[in-house]
């Protein structure tokens, strides 16, 4: 009887990518939240011209911008993680971390609702700006980690 085939050993190169993974996920979640917040700002701007209503708007431009912007932010977060983790050869790890980033974006975007209620569109612009600055700083750190 022969032994079953053994999986190839994990190389040290793949094991030492934890910092890269965390930075890639942080960058992608930050950008994803920024995109979703920008979509919410557009929705808020569109709704500002409409008369107040007790019923939610479930058709027209505000609805499609909200749903499309949310899906776009989640999708972009996953794609950015996948792209930034290109040095990791394991598609399983890249795919798993991409899904984690997408779901973290969906959870993180919940912060935008109370900010919109408390600070309005100005607060949303602040979140978009903060996400941009944080993503830029994390990207600079990522380039330093990749060069090491």
- Cβ contact 77:31 at 8 Å: yes
What is the distance between the alpha carbons of residues 97 and 82, in angstroms, rounded to a whole number? 8
- Cβ contact 22:99 at 8 Å: no
pLDDT more than 90, % of the chain: 70
pLDDT band at 17 (very low <50, low <70, confident <90, very high): confident
- Cβ contact 116:44 at 8 Å: yes
- Cβ contact 124:40 at 8 Å: yes
**Residue 50: what pLDDT?**
82
In this model, does residue 13 exceed pLDDT 60? no
pLDDT band at 139 (very low <50, low <70, confident <90, very high): very high
In this model, does residue 80 exceed pLDDT 80? yes
């Amino acid at each position: 009887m022969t032994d079953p085939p053994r999986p190839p050993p994990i190389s040290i190169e793949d094991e030492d990518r934890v910092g890269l993974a965390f930075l890639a996920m942080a960058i992608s979640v930050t950008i994803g939240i920024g995109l979703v917040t920008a979509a919410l700002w557009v929705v808020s701007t569109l709704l500002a011209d409409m008369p107040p209503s007790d019923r939610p708007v479930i058709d027209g431009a505000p609805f499609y911008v909200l749903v499309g912007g949310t899906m776009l932010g989640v999708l972009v977060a996953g794609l950015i993680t996948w792209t930034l983790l290109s040095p990791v050869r394991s598609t399983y790890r890249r795919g798993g971390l991409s899904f984690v980033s997408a779901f973290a974006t969906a959870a993180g975007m919940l912060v935008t609702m109370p900010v919109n209620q408390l600070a309005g569109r100005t607060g949303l612009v602040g979140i978009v700006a903060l996400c941009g600055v944080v993503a830029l700083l994390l990207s600079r750190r990522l380039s330093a980690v990749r060069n090491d």
